[in-house]
């Protein structure tokens, strides 16, 4: 292969590369007049630009007088000129964000220059999307913080009078003739206080301020205590409450584990009538699973994930609560390194499974 052929081949390769570039590339002579350009430059400038001087070319590109002194030859170009963040006008009248660079080069026919114009539309769109996402994240963060402060303040304000109501009703129930009515007031107040506590816990979790006292915890005594607490609730609904326990120790916050089980077993008891609620402890190599099964109305498959969303209910008219208990229980489980899952068959019942790390 001759030297001439090698040079020709290299030029063809270089030309192919330049034609494939996404940027518009324009060759200028030593007087900074247009000689040629790649296909992208045709789309940017149109076809009839041969001989056009750089000042006219840039004014055509930007649709305005260039706010800088432009040289009239390569000798006055120095190290080059650039506009990293500008606008150019297309032949169809559209304006797009663009950057351009004018640099001196030396070729076979002497000195000249290259004008390279880059379309910044996609980059600007990405930057705008990133700014919007950052703004949304900041608004969301501030909203969560504000909501957390509000919920904490409101929870405190509501709990104070409720605790007083509970105290006085307990005193009056000992001797008052209307003990049954007071019992209802007392029960309703305790329920409302539990809801407020759930709301406060959710606000802490949402704000990332929930703290867990994680240690090795024996599951059996906590399950038995929860069942003893909820037997009256189960009896009111005509339900049998049973447990099948295996010896198991988990890494958990004992108080939060009890809270999770009270929510799960309490829900199962309240939403099952004349049926059965079973609690089973299953031990695997690394996990302990606590299954809470009921023979209640069940949940439709499409609604299973909705029951874990705060303030959502699987059935808005079924009276299945405020939508706080299950989202809170899952959040607490995740906070302790576990999870909460559910399966259900409408008309047959549901199973909620609390999964926690097994203690070594």
**Span 122-160, pLDDT tens digits:** 899 999 999 999 988 887 777 766 666 666 666 666 666
What CATH number did the domain enclosing 52 receive? 3.30.450.20
Same domain, 226 and 345: yes
Same domain, 95 and 145: no
- Residue 42, Cβ neighbours under 10 Å: how many? 14
Give Cβ neighbours of residue 232 (< 8 Å, ≥ 6 apart).
none
Residues linked to residue 279 through DSSP beta bridges, in sequence order:
243, 292
Same domain, 250 and 331: yes
H/E segment holding residue 287:
strand 287-294
What CATH number did the domain enclosing 138 receive? 1.10.287.130
Same domain, 62 and 144: no
- Nearest CA to 109 out of 2, 217, 20, 11 is that of 11
pLDDT tens, 62-111?
A: 766 665 677 878 888 888 888 888 888 777 778 888 888 888 887 665 68
- Nearest CA to 300 out of 347, 266, 264 is that of 347
Dump strand ranges (E) for 158-239: 215-218
Same domain, 191 and 81: no
pTM of the model: 0.54
Same domain, 277 and 349: yes
φ, ψ for residue 305 (rounded to 5)? -75, -30
Same domain, 108 and 192: no
Last residue of a domain, one of 184, 206, 228: 206
Residues 327 and 98: their CA atoms lie apart, in Å, by 49
Q: What total of structural domains would you count in the chain?
A: 3
Last residue of a domain, one of 152, 183, 206: 206
Residues linked to residue 25 through DSSP beta bridges, in sequence order:
116
Same domain, 76 and 47: yes
Strands 81-89 and 34-37: unpaired
Same domain, 115 and 154: no
Same domain, 67 and 146: no
pLDDT tens, 247-266?
A: 999 999 999 999 999 999 99
End-to-end CA distance of the chain: 75
H/E segment holding residue 168:
helix 121-173
Mean pLDDT, the chain, as a whole number? 82
- Nearest CA to 335 out of 172, 209, 199, 153 is that of 209
Same domain, 107 and 177: no
Last residue of a domain, one of 152, 173, 206: 206
Same domain, 222 and 325: yes
Domain that holds residue 88: 3-119
């Amino acid at each position: 292969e001759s030297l001439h052929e090698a040079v020709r081949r290299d030029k063809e390769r270089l030309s192919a590369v330049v034609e494939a570039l996404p940027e518009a590339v324009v060759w200028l002579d030593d007087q900074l007049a247009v000689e040629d350009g790649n296909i992208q430059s045709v789309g940017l400038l149109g076809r009839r630009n041969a001989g056009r001087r750089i000042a006219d070319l840039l004014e055509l590109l930007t649709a305005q007088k260039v706010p800088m002194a432009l040289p009239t030859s390569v000798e006055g170009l120095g190290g080059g000129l650039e506009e990293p963040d500008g606008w150019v006008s297309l032949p169809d009248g559209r304006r797009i964000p663009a950057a351009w660079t004018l640099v001196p080069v030396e070729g076979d026919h002497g000195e000249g220059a290259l004008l390279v114009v880059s379309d910044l539309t996609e980059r600007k769109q990405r930057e705008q999307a990133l700014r919007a996402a950052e703004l949304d994240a900041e608004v969301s963060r501030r909203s969560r913080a504000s909501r957390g402060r509000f919920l904490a303040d409101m929870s405190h304000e509501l709990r104070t009078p409720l605790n007083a109501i509970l105290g006085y009703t307990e005193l009056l129930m000992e001797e008052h003739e209307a003990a049954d009515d007071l019992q209802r007031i007392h029960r309703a107040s305790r329920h409302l206080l539990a809801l407020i506590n759930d709301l406060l816990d959710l606000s802490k979790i949402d704000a990332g301020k929930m703290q867990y006292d994680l240690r090795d915890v024996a599951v059996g005594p906590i399950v038995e205590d929860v069942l003893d607490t909820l037997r009256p609730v189960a009896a009111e609904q005509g339900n049998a409450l049973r447990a099948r326990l295996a010896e198991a120790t988990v890494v958990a916050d004992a108080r939060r584990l009890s809270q999770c089980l009270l929510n799960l077993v309490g829900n199962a008891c309240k939403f099952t009538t004349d049926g059965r609620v079973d609690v089973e402890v299953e031990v695997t190599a690394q996990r302990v699973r606590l299954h809470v099964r009921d023979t209640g109305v069940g949940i439709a498959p499409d609604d299973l994930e909705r029951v874990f969303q705060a303030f959502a209910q699987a059935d808005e008219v079924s009276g299945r609560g405020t939508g706080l208990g299950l989202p809170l229980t899952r959040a607490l489980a995740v906070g302790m390194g576990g999870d909460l899952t559910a399966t259900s068959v409408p008309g047959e019942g549901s199973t909620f499974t609390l999964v926690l790390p097994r203690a070594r």
